[in-house]
Amino acid sequence: MSRWSEKQVRDVAPDAASLSAAARLATPAPWRDTGCNDVLVWGKCQGSGKSAYQVSVDLTGPAYRCSCPSRKFPCKHGLALLMLWSRGALDESGQVADFAQEWAGRRAEKAERTQEAPDRAPADPAAAAKRLEQRLALMSAGIDDFRRWLGDVARSGLAAARSQPYAWWDGTAARLVDSQLPGLAEQVRTMGSQVHAREDWAEHLLDVLGRWWTITCAWQDRDNLSEDETAELRVVLGWAQAAAEVRAGPPRPGPWLVLGAHRSDEGKVQQQRTWLRGPDGEVVQVLDFAGYGEVVAVPQLSGALLDVAVARYPGHPPRRAVFAGDPTSSRVLDSLPGRSSVADALAAAAATIATVPWRDRHPVLLGDVTVAPADAGRPAYLRDDAGHVLPLVEDAPVWLLLALSGGAPLELFGELEDGRFRPLTAVGDGQVTAL
């Protein structure tokens, strides 16, 4: 593994507080028995207690272990150890510490057991068919109720919907959850906040109401949908497919290039989206989730080439995927391929929407765009060399982008959402930077 830069170390920090605490520990004084090799970094950090904390990092994951009580991954000790490693302050000639070697061995054994685990006994086909029939009937009743609700909203008008309390939206969402339609329920709950938070609430609400109506029409016509169309409908409704079923399909070999990642807090669930580009140019999305009290997966580094195969869910591109094994980073690139103009990006998004009308997020790599901050009521935006403009999402790191570019054009990878761009990765001066 090539040595990480301090920027790459900062990118894996779970939060700013951990990063700040790690910076204070990133000195030789509290550390002993440190070392590193091609795949492992290890050391002991003396804290306030009698025993030093044992810290190990597996660079191939990356994966982290520390004997401290923190539930963050990596914790401040792991981050501090990586900072020392990135500065070349660790011995590379010593023998691997016993605690690090033992942990790495357990990880390897667990991975081997997972690959060799026998398949579960098949479920009773008759019982499975009955459960499916009951679920379809429940979902159909929920869709019918939702269609009536949409009709009431249309008749009453958008202003009347906006004047409703949040409990009105939440009650509709609760009925959708009871009908096993959690995907739609989450969208309705989100809209209950957006109608008050967005300046363009009327246009946005009208857009989403049309999208919801299209989803209900697709459900009623589901018997005539193709396999990929059915898969897309299941996703938007929140009907999950087991990852084990997906991994049973044919894998797509790598290396896969990490284009960018975004972590969001969806109510009680954290979601992390990682966009990958395959050797043939195919783009896929890996989703990780963590519930309350859980820790979401460590993000992959933007620009890293991962030596791993992926298994893809059914559906239209860009498809969702899962790693078929533990991803191993071979090297980090200084550029990203496949850039496009603003016009080409919008055309590609329109083509996707024509196939999947409820798809609301599209991966885009824009080339040679300049960043303009918000001014006189106009939101911050991007401008390409053809003069086409694309507004940025409200929480975009505009000043960081200006600092990275110095006002000059740069390449940006991100997500196109409802006509706005969410930057995830910047490319400039021969460096790929996660945002």
pLDDT in tens, 129-164: 888 888 899 999 999 999 999 999 999 999 999 999
Query: Are the C-beta atoms of 120 and 242 separated by less than 8 Å?
Result: no
Is 290 within the bounds of a domain?
A: yes
Crossing angle (nearest 10°) for helices 125-156 and 166-178: 160
Is 1 within the bounds of a domain?
A: no
The verdict on 324 and 354 lying in the same domain is no
The verdict on 257 and 356 lying in the same domain is no
Is 349 within the bounds of a domain?
A: yes
The verdict on 365 and 428 lying in the same domain is yes
The 256-266 sheet, strands edge to edge: 310-312, 319-323, 283-290, 269-277, 256-266, 304-306, 329-332
Query: Are the C-beta atoms of 252 and 312 separated by less than 8 Å?
Result: yes
- 366's CB contacts (< 8 A; 6+ apart) are 339, 340, 341, 342, 345, 382, 384, 390, 411, 412, 413, 414, 421
Is 370 within the bounds of a domain?
A: yes
Phi then psi for 352, rounded to 5 degrees? -65, -45
Could you say which of 310, 332, 354 is where a domain stops? 332
Could you say which of 297, 332, 367 is where a domain stops? 332
Domain count, the chain: 4
The pLDDT assigned to 115 comes to: 57
Beta bridge partners of 364: 414
The verdict on 18 and 41 lying in the same domain is yes
The pLDDT assigned to 80 comes to: 93
The verdict on 349 and 308 lying in the same domain is no
Is 270 within the bounds of a domain?
A: yes
Query: Are the C-beta atoms of 348 and 415 separated by less than 8 Å?
Result: no
Could you say which of 332, 350, 365 is where a domain stops? 332
Q: How far apart are CA 371 and CA 399, in angstroms?
A: 9
pLDDT in tens, 403-417: 988 889 999 999 998
The verdict on 417 and 322 lying in the same domain is no
The verdict on 62 and 18 lying in the same domain is yes
Is 395 within the bounds of a domain?
A: yes
The pLDDT assigned to 210 comes to: 94
The verdict on 168 and 203 lying in the same domain is yes
- 95's CB contacts (< 8 A; 6+ apart) are 35
Q: How far is CA 201 from CA 18, 167, 173, 194, 230, in A?
A: 37, 18, 19, 7, 30
The pLDDT assigned to 387 comes to: 92
The verdict on 326 and 385 lying in the same domain is no
The pLDDT assigned to 162 comes to: 94
- 206's CB contacts (< 8 A; 6+ apart) are 158
| Domain containing residue 167 | 125-237
Q: What is the largest CA-CA distance in the chain?
A: 75
Q: Which residues does the chain have with pLDDT short of 70?
A: 1-2, 93-94, 112-123, 265-269, 290-297
Is 337 within the bounds of a domain?
A: no
